[in-house]
């Protein structure tokens, strides 16, 4: 490809409204162009990267025995009525009426379409297991698209669906997909990604995992154990809380605390540490407006996701006075709540002695409270956020707090879709059974953007060899020099013949423009030909990722490039 003919303009100016590195660089390098909110066109270089990522995904899916299919983007309402999702999914799902007035929708995922394909197709236990997948456009009407290709409304996604006779078969297949996903991210070039449990099963939830590119640009808060590899989304993270100690307290005693209401104010007033206090956090349930009171040790924060799962409802702000409580003075001892209210005690309170809590009346708290003496028979639950400095539940190492972008996920779906849609298969014993499903997604564009977040530097994009739009950026300086032009043309021809994917900057522009452009574009190897390099019959080869430069004799150049390309791919794929 000649750069002068490449569709796309490189620009120096910082694009307005873009804050993420990947967003800024994709715009500046002429890789993408915004068409609408959360909607982008991919220019040729981005499409080339996208297709390489797709090829890696396809290869790994095929190795798992996956069979590529194509589901429709537009589906009739009836299909989604069967699963109940036509009603249960809110504004994210685009609905429209066709010319006959029929209700249609744009597929966000394709569980229904997958079951539709398999129904009456797989009818016997002998037809399973089977995995079908597609790589296709999806549209989700996200409320807040942002960050270029990180969170968009329209995107290319690989979605796969597996069908199994037994949970054991799904378990063993799920493990294989889990590993294939790890290979996919390694092959794409990620060095820094973790797998987190999507749902740690507090409520017996289904097993799922999210693959997270670790980057400050991420939307998700993560904790990662640097020793054993435990990683979790903050929303569901567990840890070992630092133990409570201290002596059994003296007798409980009401103390005047006046306007001190927050736990910080109360502890400051009473000159005690927040570690020696219990605070209450209150909500009401969205579903039926029940009061929810959660007690934690004063130096901890509530994890609303965990709490929400416990009460099986979203949580809303509550005016506690409506339930007869005294705001700012709620305490564990002698708490009176209406029947049907929820009261929870976090594990951080377990074994706590000699602490302060609200007295459940205005202006007063109680001190010298003891869990063991004053709050017998309390059941403790895990509803606190993991704090900095807390330790891994598996190995005790101090957890690292970081951020991540979800670059893929895998789920065990169970029979949710096969049972609602009525798909059954004949089992060996003659019974009819609903197959058990798994589903496995990867967003192609988000991977493209996330690898930029990991690799790019202040000069521009840096592509891993496995997904680079081109392998070599041929960059003659001074093309007005006859010898330079002639050698470069010849090299361009030779590279193409050797199967090297080459971007050839044959423009007659300054060295500064050419080198800056090449750094911005991020092609892994740059070959500079100039009057100076030709003096020694050499080319200067620069590795984009490291900046390392080597001089190679022209006669050896093609061979050396092929070897460098091969080496870099081998390095990326070395421990698959």
Contact positions toward a second copy, by CB under 8 A? 1, 4-9, 30, 33, 35-37, 39-44, 46-48, 50-51, 65, 67-76, 78-79, 91-92, 94-96, 98-99, 102, 104, 106, 113, 116-118, 120-123, 126, 130, 132, 134, 136-137, 139, 141, 143, 153-154, 156
Least separation in angstroms between residue 99's CB and a second copy is: 4
**First vs last C-alpha separation in the chain:** 32
Cα 526 from Cα 570, distance rounded (Å): 19
Least separation in angstroms between residue 15's CB and a second copy is: 12
Which lies closer to a second copy via its Cβ, residue 71 or residue 190? 71
Least separation in angstroms between residue 8's CB and a second copy is: 6
Which lies closer to a second copy via its Cβ, residue 47 or residue 415? 47
Q: Within 10 A of 507 (CB to CB), how many other CB atoms are there?
A: 15
Least separation in angstroms between residue 9's CB and a second copy is: 5
Cα 47 from Cα 42, distance rounded (Å): 6
CA-based torsion, 180, 181, 183, 187: positive or negative: positive
Alpha-carbon dihedral 452, 455, 458, 462, rounded to 10 degrees: -80
Which lies closer to a second copy via its Cβ, residue 142 or residue 489? 142
C-alpha 19 chain-centroid distance:
19
Least separation in angstroms between residue 455's CB and a second copy is: 22
Which lies closer to a second copy via its Cβ, residue 50 or residue 257? 50
84 three-class SS: coil
Which lies closer to a second copy via its Cβ, residue 366 or residue 503? 503
Q: What is the DSSP letter of 567?
A: H
Least separation in angstroms between residue 556's CB and a second copy is: 30
Least separation in angstroms between residue 226's CB and a second copy is: 39
Q: 332 is written with which tokens? A: 């564990």
Which lies closer to a second copy via its Cβ, residue 71 or residue 185? 71
426 three-class SS: strand
Least separation in angstroms between residue 102's CB and a second copy is: 8
Cα 506 from Cα 491, distance rounded (Å): 12
Which lies closer to a second copy via its Cβ, residue 124 or residue 287? 124
Q: What is the secondary structure of 230-284 as a DSSP string?
A: -EEEGGG---BPPPP--PPP---EEEE-TT--SHHHHHHHHT--GGGBEEEEEEE
Least separation in angstroms between residue 172's CB and a second copy is: 17
Which lies closer to a second copy via its Cβ, residue 78 or residue 322? 78
φ, ψ of residue 281 in degrees (nearest 5): -120, 130
Least separation in angstroms between residue 80's CB and a second copy is: 11
Q: Are 438 and 173 in contact (CB under 8 A)?
A: yes
Which lies closer to a second copy via its Cβ, residue 28 or residue 347? 28
Close Cβ partners of 203 (under 8 Å, ≥ 6 residues apart): 309, 310, 312
Which lies closer to a second copy via its Cβ, residue 113 or residue 423? 113
Closest CA to 25 of 15, 17, 40, 35: 15
Q: What is the DSSP letter of 440?
A: E
């Amino acid at each position: 490809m000649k750069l002068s003919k490449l569709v796309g303009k490189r620009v120096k100016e910082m694009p307005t409204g873009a804050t993420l590195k990947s967003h800024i660089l994709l715009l500046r390098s002429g890789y993408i162009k915004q068409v609408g909110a959360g909607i982008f066109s991919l220019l040729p270089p981005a499409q080339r990267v996208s297709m390489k990522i797709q090829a890696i995904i396809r290869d790994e899916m095929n190795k798992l025995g996956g069979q590529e299919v194509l589901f429709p983007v537009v589906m009739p309402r009836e299909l989604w009525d069967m699963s109940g999702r036509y009603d249960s999914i809110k504004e994210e799902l685009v609905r429209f009426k066709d010319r006959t007035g029929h209700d249609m929708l744009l597929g966000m995922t394709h569980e229904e379409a997958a079951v539709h394909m398999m129904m009456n197709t797989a009818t016997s236990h002998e037809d399973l297991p089977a995995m079908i997948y597609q790589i296709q456009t999806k549209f989700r009407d996200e409320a807040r698209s942002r960050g270029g290709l990180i969170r968009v409304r329209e995107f290319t996604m690989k979605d796969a669906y597996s069908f199994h006779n037994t949970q054991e078969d799904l378990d063993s297949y799920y493990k294989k997909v889990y590993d294939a996903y790890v290979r996919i991210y390694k092959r794409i070039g990620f060095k820094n990604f973790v797998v987190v449990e999507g749902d740690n099963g507090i409520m017996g939830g289904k097993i799922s995992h999210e693959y997270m590119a670790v980057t400050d640009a991420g939307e998700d808060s993560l904790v990662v154990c640097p020793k054993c590899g435990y990683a979790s989304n903050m929303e569901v993270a567990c840890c070992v809380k630092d133990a409570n100690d201290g002596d059994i307290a003296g007798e409980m005693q009401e103390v005047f605390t006046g306007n001190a209401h927050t736990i910080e104010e109360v502890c400051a007033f009473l000159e005690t540490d927040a570690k020696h206090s219990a605070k209450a956090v209150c909500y009401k349930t969205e579903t039926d407006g029940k009061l929810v009171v959660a007690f934690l040790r004063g130096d901890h924060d509530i994890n609303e996701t965990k709490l929400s799962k416990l009460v099986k409802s979203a949580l809303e702000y509550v005016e506690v006075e409506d339930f007869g409580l005294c705001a700012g003075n709620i305490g564990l001892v002698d708490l009176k709540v209406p029947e049907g209210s929820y009261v929870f005690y976090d594990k951080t309170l377990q074994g706590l002695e000699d602490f302060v809590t609200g007295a459940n009346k205005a202006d007063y708290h109680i001190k010298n409270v003891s869990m063991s003496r004053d709050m017998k028979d309390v059941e403790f639950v895990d509803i606190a956020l993991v704090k900095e400095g807390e330790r891994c539940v598996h190995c005790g190492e101090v957890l690292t707090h970081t951020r991540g972008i979800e670059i893929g996920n895998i789920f065990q779906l169970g029979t949710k879709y096969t049972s609602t849609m009525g798909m059954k298969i004949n089992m060996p014993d003659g019974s009819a059974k609903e197959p058990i499903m798994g589903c496995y997604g990867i967003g192609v564009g988000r991977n493209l953007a996330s690898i930029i977040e990991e690799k790019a530097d202040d000069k521009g994009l840096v592509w891993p060899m496995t997904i680079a739009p081109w392998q070599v950026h041929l960059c003659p300086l001074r093309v007005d020099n006859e010898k330079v032009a002639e050698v470069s043309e010849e090299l361009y021809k030779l590279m193409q013949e050797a199967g090297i994917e080459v971007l050839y900057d044959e423009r007659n522009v300054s060295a500064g423009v050419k080198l800056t452009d090449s750094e911005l574009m991020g092609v892994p190897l740059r070959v500079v030909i100039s009057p100076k390099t030709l003096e020694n019959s050499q080319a200067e080869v620069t590795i984009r990722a490291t900046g390392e430069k080597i001089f190679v004799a022209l006669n050896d150049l093609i061979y050396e490039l092929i070897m460098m390309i091969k080496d870099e791919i081998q390095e990326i794929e070395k421990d698959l």
